[in-house]
Structure 1
Amino acid sequence: MLEFDAQTAQLLDTAYQGADVTRRRQASFDALKPSPDESILDVGSGNGLLTAELARAVGPKGRVIGVDPSGDMRQSAIRRCREFDWVDIVEGSANHLPVADATIDKAVSVQVFEYISDISSAVKEVRRALKPDGKLVVGDIHFDSLVWFSNSPERMARMLAAWDNHFAERTVPALLPPILKNAGFAVESVHPITVCDHQLKPDGLANMMMILMENYAVANSYLSQEEASKWAEEQRNLAAEGSFFFSVTHFVVSARKI
């Protein structure tokens, strides 16, 4: 698994404000349709960007609870949301939510379920927290959709195989609809958002992934420092000569408790 320590939290705090990640976060916000005075649960709230946006949407008579297992991430979220008295950032996980039964109007989770080994349990736990007819929105990447050009496809394959070890499930959007139905949800929509770049943008998803992937592969001895560095260097060289290409699809799944 990827460790969300202080250094990683700082990297994500910057990258998550870039256009690619903002668009994915906005898609989940739009699907959730937060309204004034609602109680909303942000599952895996991370650095609190979405939490703060939800706080502004529900207003001071509403309530937003951000849940995250990482202390460094929670501290970042607390700093970001300090102006909102109606926001609580608490320790917990998708499988163990520190909220009472049937007390939440809506719940949202962005790029979290891929780190959950027992997705069915997490879905049931969110359902427990939701009020009758409560809404759940989950956004995650389907990593089978990833297309990433390289003149060394064998090395790219090794890097992607190494990256697969950092999460529990790489195909969440495909698995989620039947899991939701079995848990007592009605699936309302599955909406794709594709990030497709022919430039290596400093604030882009590809650049963020490059940094995380290189560090992760080396730290966990999946690739040598030399091979991982050459992989990243090739991508920067491809970008400089106009041959860079990266595409991946994020899916937003919306469901309602029945």
Structure 2
Amino acid sequence: MTSSAFETAKPDPVTYLDRLATSDLGRSYKRRMLDELDLRAGHRVLDLGCGPGTDLEALAAAVTPAGAVIGVDHDQNMVDAARARMTGRDVVDVRHADIHDLPMPDHSADRARTDRVLQHVADPLAALGEICRVLRPGGRLVMGEPDWETLAVDHPDSDLTRAYTRHVAEQVVRNAAIGRQLPRLATESGFTVPTVIPVTPVFRDVQAADKILGLERTSRRAVEADYFTDDAVEAWLSHLRQGPFFAAVTFYIVVAEA
């Protein structure tokens, strides 16, 4: 059984990233991250895991033509999309590279950002060490990451909720607890961490939550991974679609200084 309350087909990655960026949640936390970067005219800033270039325009505007924006992504399709979007913006350079091995000299950037990237990388500690290497002394890194182990979804059967959230934390996201780990990992990588900002979006509309969480798609994967039975997933989704609905997850903005 499916319901029009849920998406059953996974959106392509560019569509998903653009949709999140233009949501109220996306606009709010991205603005806060931009404020914390404290960009100035002439700064050289890195957008690591830039995706299709969603945030490159805002960074370019902040550093002005006197500065430079370097977008980096490991996915060639994302690099191609970002380059197409930034055509004519001479201040922006988009590169195909690995965050664990950045093709940049030591101490060559003033600022860097990662936005929901470190939850997916193979070695967050190594990636942070590489970012510290390329930032100049006194440079700033601003990171935004969810802590998926804080994901809460209200349901009368708490066992079903735990099955869903355990599947997300254990199977769906590589580094599910990265949000809470960032201050420690950044410190171990040579940064100081002056600021940690928790942001906890609350979803009261099931369709809005589904656009971020993929509730039915993720639940079906949980059945395949033996976290749910077929009957259990139907009971889970049936209540979610009927409401009232509540979900929340904590997202951390972490400021680190080299």
With structure 1 as the length reference, what TM-score do the two structures score? Answer: 0.84
Structure-2 residue corresponding to 1:254: 255
**Match of 1:208?**
211
CA distance in structure 1 between the aligned counterparts of 2:195 and 2:106, rounded to whole angstroms: 25
2:42 matched to which residue of 1?
37
| Equivalent of 2:25 in 17, 20, 26 | 20
Pairwise CA distance, 1:145: 2.3
Map of 1:64 onto structure 2: 69
Unmatched 5+ stretches in structure 2 = 1-9
Q: State the superposition RMSD in angstroms.
A: 2.6
Report which stretch shifted further, 134-143 or 221-230. 221-230
Residue 190 (structure 2) pairs with residue 184 (structure 1): yes
- Partner letter of residue 95 of structure 2? V
Q: Give the distance between the partners of 1:64 and 1:216, measured in 2 at CA.
A: 39
* 1:146-193 deviation per Cα after TM superposition (whole angstroms, max 9, x unaligned): 221123433333332332222222222322222222222111100111
| Whole-angstrom distance in 1 between the partners of 2:12 and 2:59 | 26
What one-letter code is carried by the residue in structure 1 that aligns with 2:195?
S
Residue number in structure 2 paired with 1:196: 202
Counterpart mapping for 1:88-127 below 5 A:
88-127=93-132
Determine the C-alpha separation between the residues in 2 that align with 1:50 and 1:40: 12
Give aligned-pair identity as a percent: 25
CA contact (8 A) 2:74 2:96 kept: yes
State the 1:6 CA deviation: 7.9
Code of the aligned partner of 2:174: A
1:54-84 CA-partner distances (Å, limit 9, x unpaired): 0111111211111111223223322332242
Residue aligning to 2:154: 149
Aligned length: 246
What are structure 1's unaligned runs of at least 5 residues?
none
For residues 81-107 of structure 1, the C-alpha deviation after alignment (integer angstroms, 9 at most, x for no partner) is: 224221111112321222222111100
SS of corresponding position for 2:119? helix
Superimposed CA distance per residue, residues 176-230 of structure 1 (whole angstroms, 9 cap, x where no aligned partner): 222222222111100111101222354xxx2223327615853993268966576
